[in-house]
Amino acid sequence: MLRISKLTDYGTLIMTHMAGQPERLHSATDLAETLGLGLPTVSKVLKALGRHDLVTSLRGARGGYALARPARTISVADIIDALEDQPFGLTECSTTTGLCDLEANCRIRDNWLMINTVVRRALEEVSLAEMVSPAALGTGVHLIRGPDSRAKQPLS
Amino acid sequence: MLRISKLTDYGTLIMTHMAGQPERLHSATDLAETLGLGLPTVSKVLKALGRHDLVTSLRGARGGYALARPARTISVADIIDALEDQPFGLTECSTTTGLCDLEANCRIRDNWLMINTVVRRALEEVSLAEMVSPAALGTGVHLIRGPDSRAKQPLS
DNA sequence: CTTATATAGTACTAATTTAGTACCCTTTAG
DNA sequence: CTAAAGGGTACTAAATTAGTACTATATAAG
């Protein structure tokens, strides 16, 4: 239904919150209480974010999580990539090949790939920094970002 | 998972096929055979498209379906609107209000609304005509469309 | 005016996906 | 050495989606 999963939504929420206080270390318990989410859920999300190097973690007592890089170099697309299981793509045939048999089917495949690119670009354009201070959002004025704000995997 | 449903995909496929032969009347049986889809599924999709005035239907023997308006005035967003049950929006809180209690939650709500607008605009920019002849797609050169290519319901 | 063909509508079933939880292990500060 | 915190895996339950079946209605053709 053209919707991100709740976990991805939570992830964005968590990341945005952490971006607001970049110095602190945030424990999963802290985040869960502050944001009104379940602790197991928050843990799950943070683990996935850590696996994709969007947050760093410190184990042991007084440990916690922090953003792995400056908020302005993390895009919404990065968070989606980290938390959605399947690769980015509006249709199945956008990400996997060999599923369509019919000629007409393949006729619109290229179109979906194009549309994907456009949608994805829109999501890459929004950084966490902009989520925290939305002033610049949607005005056409975007912050300048480093090269790692680009998605690691180009569109398939 | 940020993916359109299969039914929406089928709808796009069907509409694109009909746009290729705008004169003919297409029966559901015809379309199902040509496109390799199940007849009940095709029927279901066509009914939904008809309810949203994207196709017209002629009942009885020799009946069938046809596009309700020129292909260049129908956008991919129109098809998505017709076939997705829930209103357009990447997150739940984008379409419904009063679900979030926490402050931080509301802090990012506006951002999702913005992102929605951007994504949606991208989908509105692609017409069925472009799906049939993809030459102009993605090049920044878009066909000129009439006013009804705009979505009937603005973003909530 | 009857029959075959076609759409219209509704309801149900099955399969897939997603969300959330539970459990146990590892690390580290005090 | 103990409490606090992250790491990983597996399972259960809920929600969504896809597909099918059945019945009603309309119309063209003979």
Q: CA–CA separation, B64 vs A101, rounded Å?
A: 25
Confidence class for position B85, pLDDT limits 50, 70, 90 = confident
Tokens, residue B131: 């799906």
Helix axis angle, B39-51 relative to B6-20, nearest 10°?
80
Q: CA–CA separation, B30 vs B26, rounded Å?
A: 6
Host H or E run for residue A12:
helix A6-20
Point out the residue among A2, A4, A118 whose CB comes nearest to the CB of B84: A2
Q: List the 64-83 stretch of B: residues with Cβ below 8 A of A.
A: 76, 80
Q: What pLDDT is recorded for position B73?
A: 96
Task: With CA atoms as reference, report the closest residue to A104 among B39, B139, B18, B75.
Answer: B18
Task: Please name the residues in contact with B71: beta carbons below 8 A apart, sequence gap of 6 or more.
Answer: B19, B22, B127, B128, B129, B131, B132
Point out the residue among B34, B104, B126 whose CB comes nearest to the CB of A115: B126
Q: What pLDDT is recorded for position A110?
A: 81
Q: CA–CA separation, B59 vs B66, rounded Å?
A: 12
Provide, in whole angstroms, the distance separating residue B34's CA from nucleotide C14's C1': 27
Asked if residue B143 lies in contact with residue B136, where contact means CB atoms within 8 angstroms, the answer is yes
Confidence class for position A118, pLDDT limits 50, 70, 90 = confident
What is the per-residue pLDDT across A51-93, written as a single tens digit (0 to 9) for each?
999 999 999 999 999 999 999 999 999 999 999 988 888 887 6
Q: Are B104 and A17 an interchain contact pair (Cβ–Cβ within 8 Å)?
A: yes
CA distance A82 to chain B (A): 12
Asked if B124 has any chain A CB less than 8 Å from its own CB, the reply is: no
High-pLDDT (> 90) share of chain B, %: 49
Cα nearest neighbour of A121 on chain B: B119
- Read off φ and ψ for residue A140, nearest 5 degrees: 90, -10
Q: Smallest CA–C1' separation from B83: which nucleotide?
A: D17
Would you give the end-to-end CA distance of chain B in angstroms?
Answer: 21
Q: How many H-runs (helices) and E-runs (strands) does chain A carry?
A: 7, 2
Q: What pLDDT is recorded for position B91?
A: 84
Residues of chain B contacting A107 with CB distance shorter than 8 Å: 16
Q: Check pLDDT > 60 for residue A35.
A: yes
Q: CA–CA separation, B18 vs B34, rounded Å?
A: 11
Q: How many CB pairs under 8 A join A and B?
A: 119
